[in-house]
Amino acid sequence: MKSRRNFLKTAALGAAALSLDGIPAAAASRGKGRKPIVVSTWDFGIAANRAAWGVLGKGGRALDAVEAGVHVPEADEKNVTVGYGGYPDRDGRVTLDACIMDEFGNCGSVAAIEHIKHPISVARKVMEKTPHVMLVGDGALQFALENGFRKENLLTPESEKAWKEWLKKAEYKPVINIENQQYEGKGTTAFNPLRLPGNAWNHDTIGMVALDAAGNLSGACTTSGMAFKMHGRVGDSPIIGAGLYVDNEIGAATATGVGEEVIRVVGSFLVVELMRQGYSPEAACKEAVLRIVKKKPAKAKEIQIGFLALNKKGEHGAYCLHPGFSYACTTGEKEEVLIKGKYYFQ
């Protein structure tokens, strides 16, 4: 009996040592042959995916992967659209929105939270430690501090300078794809706020969805929202169903761009429901974009919105209003790749 137990133990260790695309065999077999994959919005998704793969590649849970992944842009002071260094509201206050959702339909969210560098982790705590889904403003900050998060100044000198520049005219005009125009190159390369065109500003978001070796989906979405927004403005990113939705039977979706229009169509939920009806991820994203165009045709010409989706089979796709939206995709088979989203307005 003892020797049989030892044999089983040895066999299990042997199996754990073997790997499929770097995934421990035990985790890979739980996933019934599914291969992990992570996709996330914009060029800065490359660096975020790399961090997420640090979890997925070891057979870790998609939930842990997306949290680790979006920590990268949240902490990147050069990224002026997410977390630390994000552009403030018109009162000079950096207010952040984030949400997270797991394979069991659990979800957590924070909106208009100040002084916390990793709002995604506060959102996860809301999900795991409270009976609620969403905490906002001072309540979210109080909860974060009670749970060990550190209060920090998130307004960098560069963001403050940009805000003071903006105040001179106080223009409030989103510009399409400014996220990538500011971003010089790929991965960890820095934004350069001095290169912002004119006095026009926009914002954006990292949305990340992942499938793990156990075949489970999770997602995370985090942003500093629209630059120089009205104080108290909340976009789509912390709203479950708008900025992010995960249904572990079907797929997961996330959104980027002008949140007001995404909220109007409950965009990410819509994309997942379309995948339930048999649409491919790209076709589902396209249909959601068409819904926005139909509702607000004039507005759609002036703003950017992109949807990104991943289904249970690991197929992914995106669609956006205007050229310029990209997403990063990482699997165990190749390096992170940047994929251009197809678009409606030629």
**Footprint of ligand GLY on this chain (CB under 6 A)?**
203, 205, 223, 225-226, 235-237, 256-259
3-class secondary-structure state, position 265? coil
> Closest separation between CB of residue 179 and ligand GLY, Å?
10
CA angle at 192 for the pair 46 and 72, rounded to the nearest 5°: 35
* Identity of residue 207: G
Q: Closest distance between ligand GLY and the C-beta of residue 19, in Å?
A: 37
What whole-number distance in Å separates Cα of residue 280 and Cα of residue 45? 22
Nearest CB to ligand GLY, comparing residues 56 and 239: 239
Closest to 319 (Cα-Cα) out of 308, 330, 311: 308
CB distance 273 to 296 below 8 Å: no
How many other CB atoms are found less than 10 A from the CB of residue 165?
Answer: 14
By C-beta, is 95 or 331 nearer to ligand GLY?
95
Given the residues 41, 81, 156, 205, select the one marked as catalytic: 205
237 three-state secondary structure: coil
| CB nearer ligand GLY, residue 121 or residue 237 | 237
CA distance 96 to 118: 9
Token representation of residue 288 = 């959601």
Please, where are the H alpha helices in the chain? Answer: 2-17, 25-30, 45-56, 62-75, 119-129, 137-146, 157-169, 178-182, 259-264, 267-276, 281-295, 297-302
3-state class (DSSP) for residue 311:
strand
Confirm whether 205 is a catalytic residue.
Answer: yes
Give the nearer residue to ligand GLY in terms of CB position, either 225 or 317: 225
Q: Which is nearer to ligand GLY, 182 or 223 (CB)?
A: 223
CA of residue 151 relative to chain centroid, distance:
23
The smaller minimum CB distance to ligand GLY, of residues 225 and 251, is found at 225
Residue closest to 260 by CA, chosen among 292, 219, 285, 232? 292
> Given the structure tokens 């957590």, which residue do they identify?
108
Nearest to 133, CA basis, from 106, 165, 104 = 106
CB 240 to ligand GLY: min, Å? 14
**To the nearest whole angstrom, how small is the minimum distance from the Cβ of residue 258 to ligand GLY?**
6
| Contact (Cβ atoms closer than 8 angstroms) between residue 54 and residue 62 | no
Catalytic positions are 205
